[in-house]
């Protein structure tokens, strides 16, 4: 009889043979900034997550910098929205100002800037809209402009989440031509049209006011197509690729990690976080153990970078171990 249990007899023994370990260093923590003063707005569907005005943002930045996580993913919520999302690429837009402030105060914290128009457009879609259609090619110059303006503000990584075709190439070219050849692109390559983004849209005020995102985000029935999306983003110049959401898509994560050699990120999204928090608050699950199990599963499936709202808690729990 094979005695598998020999290597499970004690915690030191189990640790010795552990195949997958997670660490704070590979985590990125999303942060929401909003215009105004003295604001720390709780997001009802995401307990523990807030929108901060610039003057209160330091509360969360300090904690993040001390936690050991490598970086933050920044989402800005502008006071003014219009058809063209002009605050997305305004030099003094809320996100640009936030990035400048973070890099001034915490130069060692990596700032990943989400690039998409939906928080900035009056219609809430990720691209320009004409007669109810989301335009692809016309949106690309705006995404490129937004990327350059965030790089100018000091963003360390540009992360397009819009799912327009050709945006990685357009952004790469614009960054190169404007003096940012060394700023990497983390592409939301396999981003599925998902009900798991529900709580985020409350947090970022970015719900589309008509229709949905299924004409640009991926159909969740498709895995091979996800690999083609990733392959194409790599060909267009992505430095890091992403699968999003995480937990219901670990098969895609695994396939992508086997096929491609680039760093692979997963985004453990708002709805995944909300489910864990809700069950934990009811006393139905052990939050810490569930979070560690989930994050480890993402890593085991092949992800090297974990974008998660649990990052600060996980970092704390990892230190206690």
Active site amino acids: 191, 244
CB neighbourhood size of 296 (10 A): 16
C-alpha span between 275 and 279 (Å, rounded)? 6
194: CB partners within 8 A, 6+ apart: 217, 220, 244, 245, 248, 269, 271
Q: Does 116 bind Zn ion (CB under 5 A)?
A: yes
Q: Cβ of residue 145: shortest distance to ligand PBG, in angstroms?
A: 17
Instruction: Residue 270: name its binding partner from ligand PBG, Zn ion, none (Cβ under 5 to 8 Å by kind).
Output: ligand PBG
Q: Does 113 bind Zn ion (CB under 5 A)?
A: no
Q: Cβ of residue 253: shortest distance to ligand PBG, in angstroms?
A: 16
Q: Cβ of residue 204: shortest distance to ligand PBG, in angstroms?
A: 7
Q: Does 163 bind Zn ion (CB under 5 A)?
A: no
Q: Cβ of residue 19: shortest distance to ligand PBG, in angstroms?
A: 28
Q: What does the binding site for ligand PBG look like in residue numbers (CB under 6 A)?
A: 114, 116, 118, 126, 161, 197, 200-201, 206, 213, 269-270
C-beta of 101 vs 161, nearer to ligand PBG = 161
Q: Cβ of residue 184: shortest distance to ligand PBG, in angstroms?
A: 18
Query: Which range, of 22-30, 118-126, 229-237, 292-300, touches Zn ion by CB under 5 A?
Result: 118-126
| Residue of the chain from 34, 46, 115, 118 that contacts Zn ion (CB under 5 A) | 118
Q: Is 86 exposed, middle or buried (0-12, 13-18, 19+ CB in 10 A)?
A: middle
CB-based burial, 92-121: b 16+ in 10 Å, e otherwise: ebbbbbbbbbbbeebeebbbbbbbbbbbbb
C-beta of 85 vs 182, nearer to ligand PBG = 85
C-alpha span between 283 and 145 (Å, rounded)? 47
C-alpha span between 240 and 202 (Å, rounded)? 27
C-beta of 205 vs 300, nearer to ligand PBG = 205
- Three-state SS for 73? strand
Q: Does 264 bind Zn ion (CB under 5 A)?
A: no
C-beta of 116 vs 262, nearer to Zn ion = 116
Instruction: Residue 301: name its binding partner from ligand PBG, Zn ion, none (Cβ under 5 to 8 Å by kind).
Output: none
144 phi and psi angles, rounded to 5 deg: -65, -45
What's the CA dihedral at 240, 148, 156, 303 to 10 degrees?
-20
Q: Which residues bind Zn ion (CB under 5 A)?
A: 116, 118, 126
């Amino acid at each position: 009889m094979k005695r598998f249990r020999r290597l499970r007899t004690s915690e030191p023994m189990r640790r010795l043979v552990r195949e997958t370990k997670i660490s704070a260093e590979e985590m990125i923590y999303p942060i929401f900034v909003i215009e105004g003063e003295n604001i720390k707005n709780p997001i009802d569907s995401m307990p523990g997550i807030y929108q901060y005005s610039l003057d209160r943002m330091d509360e969360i930045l300090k904690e993040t910098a001390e936690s050991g996580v490598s970086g933050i993913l920044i989402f800005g919520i502008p006071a003014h929205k219009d058809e063209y999302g002009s605050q997305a690429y305004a030099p003094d837009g809320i996100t640009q100002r936030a990035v400048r402030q973070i890099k001034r105060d915490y130069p060692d914290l990596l700032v990943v800037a989400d690039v998409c128009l939906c928080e900035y457009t009056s219609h809430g879609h990720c691209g320009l809209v004409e007669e109810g259609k989301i335009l692809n090619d016309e949106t690309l110059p705006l995404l490129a402009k937004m990327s350059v303006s965030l790089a100018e503000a000091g963003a360390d990584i540009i992360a397009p989440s819009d799912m327009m075709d050709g945006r990685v190439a357009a952004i790469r070219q614009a960054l190169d031509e404007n003096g940012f050849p060394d700023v990497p692109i983390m592409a939301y390559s396999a981003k599925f049209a998902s009900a798991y983004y529900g709580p985020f849209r409350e947090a970022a005020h970015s719900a589309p006011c008509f229709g949905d995102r299924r004409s640009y985000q991926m159909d969740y029935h498709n895995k091979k197509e996800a690999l083609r999306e990733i392959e194409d983003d790599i060909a267009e110049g992505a430095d890091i690729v992403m699968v999003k959401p995480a937990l219901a898509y670990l098969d895609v994560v695994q396939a992508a990690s086997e096929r491609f050699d680039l760093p692979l990120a997963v985004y453990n999204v708002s709805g995944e976080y909300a489910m864990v928090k809700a069950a934990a608050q009811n006393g139905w699950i052990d939050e810490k153990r569930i979070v560690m199990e989930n994050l480890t599963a993402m890593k085991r499936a092949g992800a090297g970078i974990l974008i998660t709202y649990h990052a600060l808690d996980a970092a704390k729990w990892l230190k206690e171990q």
